[in-house]
């Protein structure tokens, strides 16, 4: 991938289109609600309708890979189209895969999602650091070489995550803060923004994290159906808010399958985020 690195492209995209990441989550309940069959044809209709409605107006689209993988090779082929057509329409694509492994396996995941020429290569991916932040080096290094980005799980909103993410190491830091600090080290000196982001749930309340040195973006899932509103974001993220990318899925997708209704829903969410940030 040529041109600017991901942090710079994300900064430009959110300045032009607003700070919204719209999820494409074709789970079975939404296929039912849209009157679509639970098969690869229904998946394709759902996903490409989302692209038609949203890719031209939102900064970032976030397809959830698992819902495509569930349909086997046909589902993955649909995901490849979603990535290509979304990017062609001007949206950045953040592929939600949450991969995390070691050694050659992590390197293979990196090749799949971050290498030039791969049909699944997105602008950025989500990664899990809980085999150790250093286990992500193959993905971080390849992303840096190809101008792509990563968002590393730090403080998630699911209740099961707290026992790991809030655990304290020998130096008194929580695991989540250690992830923040490692990401900040990767972003040091980057301008206008580093390309190693974090995932911090918009519904976690006071996360207890010091994000002041991050110099990178923060993906904040949980806006809308999961309970967080635009006004909550400042309470959670404080001074880091200008670099927060709130994510909303069901609150937008419930307006489908009508394309104008989907687009209008996304624009309403985007405008409410801009107003709250101001």
pLDDT in tens, 72-97: 999 999 999 999 999 999 999 999 99
Encode pLDDT of 245-272 as tens digits.
999 999 999 999 999 999 999 999 999 9
The predicted structure's pLDDT at residue 230: 82
Structural domains of the chain, count:
1
Of 130 and 207, the structure prediction assigns the larger pLDDT to 130
Task: Give the whole-number percent of the chain exceeding pLDDT 90.
Answer: 85
Q: Look up the CATH number of the domain holding residue 141.
A: 3.20.20.70
Encode pLDDT of 60-70 as tens digits.
999 999 999 99
Of 1 and 164, the structure prediction assigns the larger pLDDT to 164
Cα separation, 45 vs 26, whole angstroms: 10
Neighbours of 16 (CB within 10 A): 9
In a domain, 232, yes or no: yes
pLDDT band at 277 (very low <50, low <70, confident <90, very high): confident
Neighbours of 218 (CB within 10 A): 27
Encode pLDDT of 166-208 as tens digits.
999 888 999 999 999 999 999 999 999 999 999 999 888 878 8
Cα separation, 166 vs 155, whole angstroms: 8
Average pLDDT over residues 3-28: 96
Encode pLDDT of 225-248 as tens digits.
667 788 788 888 989 999 999 999
Q: By three-state DSSP, how is residue 194 classified?
A: coil
In a domain, 131, yes or no: yes
Tell me the sheet residues that pair with 127.
99, 152
The predicted structure's pLDDT at residue 146: 98
In a domain, 174, yes or no: yes
For residue 164, report the phi and psi dihedrals to the nearest 5 degrees: -90, -50
Report if pTM > 0.85. yes
pLDDT band at 165 (very low <50, low <70, confident <90, very high): very high
Q: Is 50 a residue whose pLDDT tops 90?
A: yes
Give the residue numbers marked as catalytic.
Answer: 98
The predicted structure's pLDDT at residue 251: 92
The predicted structure's pLDDT at residue 122: 98
What's the domain range around 133? 6-277
Q: Is 46 a residue whose pLDDT tops 90?
A: yes
Q: Give the DSSP letter of residue 39.
A: S
Average pLDDT over residues 135-160: 96
Instruction: Spell out the residues 6+ positions from residue 122 whose beta carbon is closer than 8 angstroms to its own.
Output: 83, 93, 94, 95, 113, 114, 148
In a domain, 143, yes or no: yes
Tell me the sheet residues that pair with 64.
96
- Are the CB atoms for 44 and 78 separated by under 8 Å? yes
Q: In the predicted model, what is the mean pLDDT of the chain?
A: 95
In a domain, 1, yes or no: no
Q: Is 2 a residue whose pLDDT tops 70?
A: no
């Amino acid at each position: 991938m040529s041109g600017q690195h991901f942090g710079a492209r994300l900064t430009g995209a959110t300045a032009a289109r607003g700070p919204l990441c719209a999820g494409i989550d074709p789970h079975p309940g939404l296929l039912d609600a849209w009157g679509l069959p639970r098969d690869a044809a229904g998946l394709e209709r759902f996903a490409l309708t989302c692209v038609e409605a949203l890719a031209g107006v939102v900064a970032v689209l976030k397809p959830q890979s698992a819902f495509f993988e569930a349909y086997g090779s046909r589902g993955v082929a649909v995901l490849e189209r979603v990535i290509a057509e979304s990017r062609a329409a001007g949206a950045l694509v953040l592929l939600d895969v949450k991969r995390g492994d070691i050694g050659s396996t992590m390197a293979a995941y990196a090749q799949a999602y971050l290498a030039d020429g791969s049909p699944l290569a997105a602008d950025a991916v989500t990664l899990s650091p809980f085999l150790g932040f250093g286990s992500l080096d193959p993905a971080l290094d390849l992303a840096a070489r190809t101008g792509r980005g990563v968002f590393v799980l730090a403080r998630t909103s699911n209740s099961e995550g707290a026992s790991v993410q809030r655990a304290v190491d020998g130096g008194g830091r929580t695991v989540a803060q250690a992830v923040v600090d490692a990401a900040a080290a990767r972003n040091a000196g980057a301008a206008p923004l580093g390309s190693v982001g974090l995932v911090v749930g918009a519904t976690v309340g006071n996360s207890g994290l010091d994000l002041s040195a991050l110099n990178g973006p923060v993906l904040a899932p949980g806006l809308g159906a999961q309970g967080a509103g635009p006004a909550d974001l400042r309470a959670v993220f404080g001074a880091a808010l200008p670099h927060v990318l709130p994510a909303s899925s069901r609150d937008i997708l419930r307006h489908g399958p009508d394309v104008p209704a989907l687009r209008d829903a996304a624009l309403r969410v985007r405008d409410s985020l801009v107003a709250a940030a101001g």
